[in-house]
Amino acid sequence: MTAVPAWICPNWPAPPRVHAAMTTRAGGVSRGSYASLNLATHVGDDAADVAENRRRLRAALALPTEPAWLEQAHGTGVAVLPAAVAGAADAAVSFAPGSVCAVLVADCLPVFLASHDGDRVGIAHAGWRGLAIGVVEAVIAALDCDPARLMAWLGPSIGPSVFEVGDDVRDAFLAGDRGSAAAFRPGREGRWLADLPALARRRLAAAGVGAAYGGDLCTLSDPARFYSYRRDGVTGRMAALAWLA
């Protein structure tokens, strides 16, 4: 019996036109460290296995087209679909049916965005680097509407009890927002435990997005469901997807 990809549906009050899903690591054909639904072509997995995983994903979710897979670089580039993706981008937006926004993650935070009236969607790959330099603000700007019309859902990411960072990471956030100190607590000597979802919520609120959901699933702490680069090093990637019907 063929395995079917497993996914998580965002728990947010998005209108019916808005479709979104977050894959887990279950339901694919990849083997070893990549088992089993690895969706990334850049991590050393067998190309044929990744192609089959992507085929299964498209069939299981009845996607209208192949997702617009990005060349992610921990930056602030935004792909406006359906235009062809050129160069590096860490976020995508769509304003009409027929395009599927997608980012790949394995500890970084996927930030889903949708308008309250269902006429636009976006998604951002928000690791700490991208978050600190403004990828969330960039995708909000690309959605080109009053931020108060937007809602967000924060997908699985490395959690605040295990995401240990140095002074450089904390300083990168405090440089632009002294209040972000509340998202860090002391870890081992000279280290900090960072709350990535809390940092994203601060960015969203400062940009005018008042409704944010999710942010309570930890990739590192749940090896049965999620890939984690911090935990495993060599590993696969999950997909965060959003599209309009």
Give pLDDT tens digits for 116-171: 999 999 999 999 999 999 999 999 999 999 999 999 999 999 999 999 999 999 99
Q: Give the relative orientation of helices 135-143 and 196-207 as an angle to the nearest 10 degrees.
A: 40
Please give the torsion angle defined by the CA atoms of residues 165, 207, 243 and 132, in that order, rounded to the nearest 10 degrees.
-20
Dist. CA 34–CA 216, nearest whole Å: 24
- For 87, half-sphere exposure in the C-beta direction (CA atoms, 13 angstrom radius) is 6
Amino acid at site 55: R
Place of tokens 């699985």: 156
pLDDT digits (tens, 9 = 90+) for 94-106: 999 999 999 999 9
pLDDT digits (tens, 9 = 90+) for 186-239: 999 999 999 999 999 999 999 999 999 999 999 999 999 999 999 999 999 999
Please give the CATH topology (third level) of the domain spanning 7-158+207-244.
CNF1/YfiH-like putative cysteine hydrolases (3.60.140)
pTM exceeds 0.85, yes or no? yes
* Token pair belonging to 233: 């090093």
> Beta-strand (E) ranges in the chain?
7-8, 18-23, 78-81, 91-94, 100-105, 109-115, 121-126, 150-154, 164-165, 184-186, 192-194, 211-214, 238-244
Among residues 30, 35, 61, 59, the alpha carbon closest in space to that of 47 is found at 30
Dist. CA 65–CA 98, nearest whole Å: 6
Q: What are phi and psi of 61, to 5 degrees?
A: -95, 0
Q: Could you tell me the pLDDT band of residue 3, with boundaries at 50, 70 and 90?
A: confident
